Structures are given as C-alpha cells and as structure tokens.
C-alpha cells in the first residue's frame, strides 16, 4: 500500500509534469502566434523604404545589366530550340530572368543567437525556404513592373470569379495594376525537389516515381512590382514574450543566385507537353557549393517541371498542408480560366493539376504548384533537360559571366540588401 506521503509525492510530480507541459505548450503557442503576426506584417512592410548602403543603387543597376546580349537573345520569349539528347520537339521560352534562393532560420532566443552568432547549422534549423523569381522578359501580360507604384496593392479591390472581397494579389488585379517584378515561391519541404538529397538524408523521395524522382509542394506567396521592398520583410525581427524573453526571427540568408528560364516543351500529343523551370547558378561558384546548397537541393544547374493545382479541388501534393491552403488564401480564377486550364468550371470539375502554359497565372498569390524533378536533373548540366541545347548553353554562359563580374556585394545590392542585414555566408557554402 502506498503511503500518504508517497501519494502526495506522486501527485506533485504529476502536477509538475502537467505544469511543464502546459508551459511548453504556452511557449509554442506564443511563438506560433507571433510568427503568424509577423507573416501578416511582412506585406505591410513591402511599401516601406529599406535602408541600404551608399553604393546600393549603382550596384543594383550593375547586377541588372546583361553581360552577354547575344546569349540573352537566345532566351527571348517566343524563341524555340530543339531539346538536347531528347526528341525533336522544340522548347519554347516563355520567360527568363534572375533567380534567388533564400532560407530563414527558426525562431530562437536572443541570447542563443547573440552568443553563438549562428542561427542555423542544418535544414532542421530552417523555418522556411523561398525561391525568388525576377522576370526580365516574359510572355506573361503582367510580368514586368512599374516599380514607382505602391507594391502593397492598397486600394485595389479583388473581383475575379465574383470574389469581391478576395485579396487583390490572389485575383490578379494587383498584377494588372502594378505589373510583376518579383514572385516569392515558398518551398514546402524547405528545399527544392532532389531525390538524391532525400535518399542521402535517409528519407523516401516524395511523389510518383519511387527513388527516380521527387515532388515538392510549393506556393506563390507574394508578388509585387519592385523586389527592393523585400529587404524590409527579409530582415531580422525581434520581439518579447512573457515566458521566454526576447526572441529572434533571423534574417533570410541568400544561398544561391543565377539565371532561369521557363520553357514549354511543344511535344505531341498536347497532353504530353510540360512547362519546366531551368536554372544556372552564378553565385556561389561550383567550387564553393557546400552543405547549405546540398541540403537545400540546389545544384550548379538543374531543371524541374511545374504543375499547377486546381484551386477548386482539395490538395494532395507532397509536403502540402492536409487540406492545402485555406480557401480564402488560394488563387482566384474565373470560370473561363478554370475551363481553359483544367477543363472544368468554377464548381469544381476538371483535372486536379495542369501545366501553367498561360504563365500570367503565376503572377497571382495563392497559386499552388508541384515542383517535379527527376534524379538525372540534379546533376551538373541538368539544365539541358528543360531547355533546348543552345538555350541551356546560353543560361550557363550568362551565369558564368555574372560570376566573373559581380561580387557578393553586387548580388546583395540587387535586392537593396547588405552583408550586415542579410549575412551572405551561405553563398560560400557555410551555414549561418
């Protein structure tokens, strides 16, 4: 028989355990609530002027210059080229521009960050990862921006598909008013699809194809006319909690920068066609690729196909939330757009996924995408699997030219960022 003292001791331990669990749950809830507030506040910060160093404007223009006009011309929208080592069906360029890859560390205590000076040492320490597309030329009617206009889209009322209260970013009205100078694509697994990376980490690649391919859910999280405004929301954020004191959301770290092309493979029958994004990295150099790039699934060059989810149907993509985005956060499409893209209507009929041949649809927030990458496309020279032979060569030469003429400072200045505001160590393969 247990004594009264023993029972009290046991009860006290149980109460203590419950108290600790309650405190832990409370701390997690505070962090989650704060992160949600910060995410909402980020778009309000888009219109604020970001601080930059005295050379930022000139260096930003330098990074925007095209180093090899002849190679750039080969990637002009509408240009066609025969695939390398594939069938004779041509690849048509839909869009070209600069691409950046960022990661953001998880929330940590200010003391921990200030003492160590390092917020992330592996992918487990990463809160989210993004791909940033800066279109230079596009078949999209809304890509290409007037950066003098308000990037927040304030005052624009959504109206597509009868959604009078829908956010202007999801309806396309924001893009139509201001143009699109950037797209922020949030990566569902905090990395690009890369079968080899998943296997190396003891994971099973997601999606159809077994170990030969991987599918990653992603979403167009933000669009706007001027990428310079991103420096505000991508900077460090600090806040205080009652239970854990000062907390830090570290600034986004650039882990890769280069050139990209969106291309349509015009094979027959039309049902066999695909839209692919191919890229070639200028920063870091291949010699400087390290554990950061490996864990993010980033390679010197590569390619993956894009498949757009029907917003009227539940999401089932690998890495997607259980029910996908909340309906209010999904892209808003007219009945005609749904019919043309998915073969259905606004009531929910049609295919679940379709290739985004009309790429102006990517100029809307809330577009859910599947990024699909085969194992052969994560190796060196993989960009050739998503473009024609001459187009792939042009991408690589543009990236190589940028690598020779642009410093890390120039690359950061392109987005009105500095080494102090957004540590560039990852561009040398180092976690920070």
3-class DSSP assignment, residue 20: helix
Distance from C-alpha of 31 to C-alpha of 214, rounded to nearest angstrom: 31
Inform me whether the pLDDT recorded for 381 exceeds 90.
no
Q: Phi/psi at 341 (nearest 5 deg)?
A: -90, -45
**Is 325 or 252 the better-scoring residue by pLDDT?**
252
Q: What is the pLDDT of residues 109-126, one digit of tens each?
A: 888 888 877 789 999 999
Distance from C-alpha of 128 to C-alpha of 125, rounded to nearest angstrom: 9
Strand partners, 134: 98
Torsion angle, alpha carbons of 108, 113, 118, 121, to 10: -30
The lowest-confidence range among 68-72, 130-134, 197-201 is: 197-201
Q: Which two tokens stand for residue 207?
A: 């999606």
Domain segments of the chain: what residues? 28-428
Inform me whether the pLDDT recorded for 11 exceeds 70.
no
3-class DSSP assignment, residue 276: strand
Residue 318: CA count within 13 A, CB half-sphere: 21
- Order of strands across the sheet with 245-249? 108-109, 245-249, 237-241
Distance from C-alpha of 410 to C-alpha of 38, rounded to nearest angstrom: 28
Mean of pLDDT values over 320-341:
83
Distance from C-alpha of 374 to C-alpha of 13, rounded to nearest angstrom: 53
Q: For residue 387, name the pLDDT band (cuts at 50, 70, 90).
A: confident
Q: For residue 36, name the pLDDT band (cuts at 50, 70, 90).
A: low
Residue 248 C-alpha from the chain's centroid: 22
Inform me whether the pLDDT recorded for 248 exceeds 80.
yes
With contact defined as beta carbons under 8 Å apart, do 93 and 266 qualify? no
Q: Which two tokens stand for residue 295?
A: 């864990």
Q: What is the pLDDT of residues 192-203, one digit of tens each?
A: 998 887 777 777
Inform me whether the pLDDT recorded for 417 exceeds 60.
yes
Strand partners, 218: 187, 369
The lowest-confidence range among 214-228, 236-250, 336-350 is: 336-350
**Is 58 or 227 the better-scoring residue by pLDDT?**
227
DSSP letter, residue 179: -
Which pLDDT belongs to residue 47? Answer: 40
Mark 338-356 as b/e (b = at least 16 C-beta within 10 Å). beebbebebeeebeebbbb
Q: Which two tokens stand for residue 314?
A: 């539940």
Mean of pLDDT values over 333-356:
81
With contact defined as beta carbons under 8 Å apart, do 178 and 149 qualify? yes
Q: Which two tokens stand for residue 23?
A: 């405190």
Which pLDDT belongs to residue 86? Answer: 53
| Mean pLDDT estimate for the chain | 80
Distance from C-alpha of 199 to C-alpha of 217, rounded to nearest angstrom: 18
Which pLDDT belongs to residue 13? Answer: 47
- If one counts every other C-beta atom within 10 angstroms of the C-beta of residue 328, the result is 12
């Amino acid at each position: 028989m247990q004594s009264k003292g023993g029972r009290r001791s046991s009860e006290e331990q149980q109460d203590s355990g419950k108290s600790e669990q309650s405190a832990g749950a409370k701390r997690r809830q505070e962090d989650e609530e704060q992160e949600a507030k910060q995410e909402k506040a980020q778009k309000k910060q888009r219109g604020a002027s970001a601080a930059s160093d005295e050379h930022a404007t000139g260096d930003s223009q330098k990074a925007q210059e095209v180093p090899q006009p002849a190679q750039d011309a080969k990637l002009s929208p509408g240009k066609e080229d025969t695939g390398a080592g594939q069938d004779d069906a041509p690849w048509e360029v839909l869009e070209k521009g600069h691409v950046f890859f960022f990661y953001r560390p998880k929330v940590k205590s200010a003391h921990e960050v200030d003492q160590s000076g390092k917020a992330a040492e592996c992918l487990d320490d990463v809160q989210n990862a993004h791909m940033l597309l800066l279109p230079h030329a596009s078949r999209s009617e809304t890509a290409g921006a007037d950066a003098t206009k308000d990037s927040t889209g304030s005052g624009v009322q959504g109206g597509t598909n009868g959604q009078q209260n829908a956010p202007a970013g999801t309806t396309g009205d924001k893009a139509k008013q201001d143009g699109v100078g950037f797209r922020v694509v949030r990566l569902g697994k905090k990395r690009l699809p890369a079968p080899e990376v998943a296997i190396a980490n003891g994971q099973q690649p997601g999606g159809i194809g077994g170990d030969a391919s991987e599918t990653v859910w992603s979403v167009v999280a933000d669009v706007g006319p001027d990428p310079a405004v991103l420096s505000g929301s991508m900077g460090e954020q600090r806040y205080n909690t009652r239970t854990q004191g000062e907390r830090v959301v570290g600034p986004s770290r650039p882990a890769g920068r280069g050139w990209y092309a969106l291309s349509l493979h015009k094979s027959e029958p039309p049902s066999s066609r695909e839209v692919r994004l191919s890229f070639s990295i200028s920063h870091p150099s291949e010699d400087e690729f390290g554990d950061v790039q490996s864990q993010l699934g980033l390679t010197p060059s590569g390619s993956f196909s894009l498949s757009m989810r029907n917003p009227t149907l539940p999401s089932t993509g690998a890495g997607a939330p259980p029910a996908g985005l909340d309906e209010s956060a999904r892209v808003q499409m007219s009945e005609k757009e749904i019919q043309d893209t998915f073969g259905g209507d606004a009531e929910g009929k049609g295919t679940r996924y379709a290739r985004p041949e009309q790429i102006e649809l990517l100029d809307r927030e809330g577009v859910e995408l599947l990024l699909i990458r085969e194992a052969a496309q994560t190796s060196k020279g993989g960009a050739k699997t998503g473009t024609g032979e001459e187009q792939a060569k042009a991408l690589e030469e543009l990236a190589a030219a940028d690598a020779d003429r642009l410093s890390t400072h120039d690359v950061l200045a392109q987005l009105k960022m500095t080494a102090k505001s957004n540590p560039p160590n990852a561009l040398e393969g180092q976690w920070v």
